[in-house]
Amino acid sequence: MSDDVWVVVPCFNEASVIAEVVGDLRSKFTHVVCVDDGSTDDTAAQAVRAGATLVRHPVNLGQGAALQTGVEYARRRAGARYFATFDADGQHRTEDLVVMIERLRTEPVDIVIGSRFASADTAKPPWFKRTILRVATATSRHARQLGLTDTHNGLRAFNRTVADRLDLTINGMGHASEFISLISENGWRVTEQSVDIAYTPYSRSRGQSILNGVNVLTDGLVRNRMRR
């Protein structure tokens, strides 16, 4: 059991799967913090029953805001040295995260990002989504500079250096690109870990619609103007 790791799981109306996801994480990590982003179903109660710490947004803010909340809560906890972000829909594998945390402990890196494209033999997203993700990565200046292959993966593990300075300002889905920009701007040492994604009917149904890409692009465009 890893006592110095805090896993942040942003969740919004995930009552049917959250208990299983938290339970699985808790078999390897003591601290799992679920940020309930104003769910209207039983998500919060299910998460607590499965052993997660609950932080609850009074209103729905978006996944980026939930991640930031979870990290801010976790970095205030005594003894927290490593942090992770993990999607609530059950598409990530706990074993992948265990490997990523181990790399943080042993290698000279600040952050390890999960990638669906780093290795040839991991499960790939459906072709249309794959194309969109490829384009998103190819058009990201920061991703190119850092040599990253997957900018929109919810599985990340990082140390205190990153957690202490993390300040996501994009509340919605555009936070994934913002995360990459922050890595580049702060000069954090980054590496990728090839991870498997379970594309179940459930996680597919919860996936992002392609149209949301428009929102992601505009969010990124005006991000610099939002800086104080």
Partner 1 sequence: MIWMQLLLLAGFVSLVLYLLVSSDRAKVQAGAKLAFAFFIVAGVYAVLRPDDLTVLANALGIDRGTDLLLYVLVVAFAFFAVSTYLHFRRLELDFGRLARRVAIQEAESQIAPPEDQ
The pair of three-digit structure tokens given for residue 195, joined into one six-digit string: 């991870």
Among 76, 108, 120, 127, binds partner 1 (CB under 8 A): 76
Q: How far is the CB of 164 from partner 1 (least distance, A)?
A: 11
Of the pair 60, 184, the CB lying nearest partner 1 is at: 60
Counting contacts by CB under 8 A, is residue 1 touching partner 1? no
| In the complex, least distance from residue 224 CB atom to partner 1, rounded to whole angstroms | 6
Give the list of residues 6+ apart from residue 208 with CB closer than 8 angstroms, or none.
173
Binding of partner 1 at residue 227 (CB under 8 A)?
yes
Retrieve residue 157's tokens: 């593990």
CA distance 79 to 177: 29
Question: Tokens standing for 142?
Answer: 């920061």
| β-sheet bridge partners, residue 34 | 9, 54
Q: How far is residue 136's CA from residue 153's CA, in Å, rounded to a whole number?
A: 12
Helix axes 175-186, 63-75, angle to 10 degrees: 50
Complex with partner 1: residue 30 or 194, whichever CB lies closer: 30
Please tell me whether residue 35 binds partner 1 under the rule CB under 8 A.
yes
Nearer to partner 1, 55 or 146 (CB): 55
Residue 76 neighbours by CB under 8 Å, 6+ apart: none
Nearest distance in Å: CB 221, partner 1: 8
Size of the site for partner 1 (CB under 8 A): 26
Site for partner 1 in 130-189 (CB under 8 A): 169, 171
- Give me the residues paired with residue 56 across strands: 36
Q: For partner 1, give the closer residue by CB, 73 or 202.
A: 73
Query: CB of 101: closest distance to partner 1 in angstroms?
Result: 22
Is residue 4 at the binding interface for partner 1, with CB under 8 A as the rule? no
- Distance between CA atoms of 54 and 33, rounded to whole angstroms? 6
Q: Which of 26, 73, 184, 213 binds partner 1 (CB under 8 A)?
A: 73
Q: Tell me if 34 sits within 8 A of 47, measured CB to CB.
A: yes
| Tokens of residue 123, six digits | 């499960």
Q: Which residues bind partner 1 (CB under 8 A)?
A: 35, 53-59, 61-62, 65, 68-69, 72-73, 76-78, 169, 171, 221-222, 224-227
